[in-house]
Amino acid sequence: MNGRADALAARPDQWVVRPAAPRKNDRDLRTDPLLRLVCVPYAGGGASVYQRWGHALLPAVEPWALRLPGHDARMAEPLATDLVSVASDAAAALIALGPGPYALFGHSLGAFLAFEIARALRDRWDTEPTFLAIGGRNAPQVGTSGVAMSHLPDDQYLDLLDQRFGAIPRVLREDAQMRALYLPILRADVMMLETYAYRPGKPLSCPILALGGEDDPETSVGSLAAWGAHTTAGCTTVMLPGGHFFLETQREQLLQLLSAELLATLVP
């Protein structure tokens, strides 16, 4: 392992955070979880995206959220645009946390990051997640749709993002301070996605769940099913109601589905 990865692995708390535990009047059964679910955010997203997932997942599953450089509590760090390098460093941090087992979930940009984290764990440390779930993103060999946009002027950039994903908050257009703070993060994340160069490799040995939104033009049943080429353990494809951000609009259904799939990995 190189010195940079060593330094980052020594501080896994930089990379992952456990979302808030259930309320005080709830019984927290995650004192000794059977499985950690590491959740990777979409472009522009942070750990807060997964803040309430612990309330709906199986008690045996403990959700963790990945924090990228320049995001969340790491705002003082430089933003990153090399997806494979970020995934490798994140994998080093997971190894430093200690033995798993781990499962991975990533949405949109996070789908490719989760996939490359899984490959880095296998290639560098001879270990794999027990399960990989991806949402809102075609298999990497299929490619991404749409034109490159991370270099466009601000207003044109936001317009195109809104047309494709429908998720640009109004405050980002109206508040100059918010735009100055958030837009560089969004640009760096989108550049990470646009410059990602998939490298063919041997398939993973963990099952894959590929999720898409029925109204999302970014994906299709066929492009999601193509994730099956990346596993020897089977790939399940599910389309949920909604657009690209079905993980917000259909959160309860998504978490029920994830819980069922994760349970299958826990029960022989």
Identity of the amino acid at 151: H
Distance of alpha carbon 182 from alpha carbon 176, whole angstroms = 10
Q: Which of 48, 85, 88, 108 is catalytic?
A: 108
Is 108 a catalytic site residue?
Answer: yes
Contacts of residues 193-199 at CB distance under 8 Å and 24 or more positions apart, as own/partner, are 193/43, 193/83, 193/108, 193/109, 193/112, 193/144, 194/144, 194/148, 194/149, 194/150, 195/81, 195/82, 195/83, 196/83, 196/84, 196/112, 196/140, 197/84, 198/140, 198/141, 199/84
To 10 degrees, the CA torsion angle through 32, 13, 107, 28? 30
Number of Cβ atoms within 10 Å of the Cβ of 127: 15
- Which amino acids are annotated catalytic? 108
